[in-house]
Structure 1
């Protein structure tokens, strides 16, 4: 990698070379406790009790259960960080530049996936048509898509990639005195385990057990590692929200053979390609605060 490209990559990096707030272990514990509270509340009461149905029915399906739970839960996390911890959200990926670029990529990726759906239909001799969900229940379709971008993916990426990755990196960097790729690697592994554990209540509620449960959790762990890599690679939290959301529920406008599930792999491959090519596609800095100096007293860089 050339010197120019390497420097450009560091401009985007959300961890290395960044000014990060000191770890607030009490805040970390509070956020993790809130996450588990939300998951237990959702999986043991809200969803089984169909508490979401009145709002769902009143809005024609737009206020999906994911949106009803995920968006308020995320707002609570942001309030905990900003007001409870007294920390700037900028340190955790919430910048205007990241938001604008992330939303541009979200629209672009979704359009490209719909183009792929048209191609897939043509290649298999199927008629080109709007998906049944968008034709007959557009509010519900929009609710499913919004439920990821403003609910589930928004919640999980804010907590695990935005907040916890930065806090654990700051802790490990302070302890080791190193600001390098191995420190990033250790952080990603730790946060990946926490991300996997967050999903245990949901998988148990679904009835998974034994080897099936372990297989599901291992897949979630790998997905968490992938989204952590994307965030580290791009420095854009809203791009990882997009990648996560489109992997979970692409909710394509165009009908595709095999349904939306068939679009999950193309969505992830497209996100991986964009993340890999990020230093070439986007050369401007991320706007994240950098360390003031690189003196002998600062952590070592790779």
Structure 2
């Protein structure tokens, strides 16, 4: 392979590296990176972009120096590129393979220009299969039964309770039992924290943990007012007036994002449009979707909201610590 051919090969590789570096930089500066990966992974992607930029710059420099050094000795170029001297066997030209590889690696960038990044919607949720029983994640064989309570150690000393107001004391005294095992104890502890609230608002930073808790202890939370935000989903097998207000829960990237939702019976006169973003509020009940027992909210308040800048929710890694 000639020096010229080797230089072109290096420049093609450099262009691929720098192309990906610029692509990631643009996504980061325009707040679109979160449409591809979770916030916990962005730092690694940004470091990768920096590495690609440095590698691309190094390849350009090496290619330029190699080309410059070869000019005075062009007549004997074969002495410097390791050709098979003394034979007629031609050396393979790698440019074709490098070009093909570069095209394949740069294809996603070109596709993103043709089809700009968008948040996953109800069409993807339907293809993936939306989950209405989040407790199945920790209880794969869940049948609607609650976990058996952990045995209490009679020798243990209970922690000192904080001073409570009369209202809080009344609610605490009326608090139901939240039986749990070693896998669900953290959810039982969280259930005790949110049960005393007059209205439970499902925050984005605890979305998965909250709906998991509500589903694990459906009977205890029946009748409580719940408020949350999400996009509207409705499948063909849902009865009239029933929807799911849902979110995609992402662990690493959009490839592993899974749709979770809470079913609602719309008790308002408002018509909901698929994929529109809303905040809903209603009383929690237990109903049926197909043959499964699931949470069904009797919603009496619906408010339209703008589509969230970051439409996904994530597992809270500090939960239960």
TM-score, with normalisation over the residues of structure 1? 0.22
Greater share of helix: 1
Q: Which has the higher contact order (CA 8 A, sep 6+)?
A: 1
TM-score, with normalisation over the residues of structure 2? 0.21
Greater share of strand: 2
Larger Rg: 2
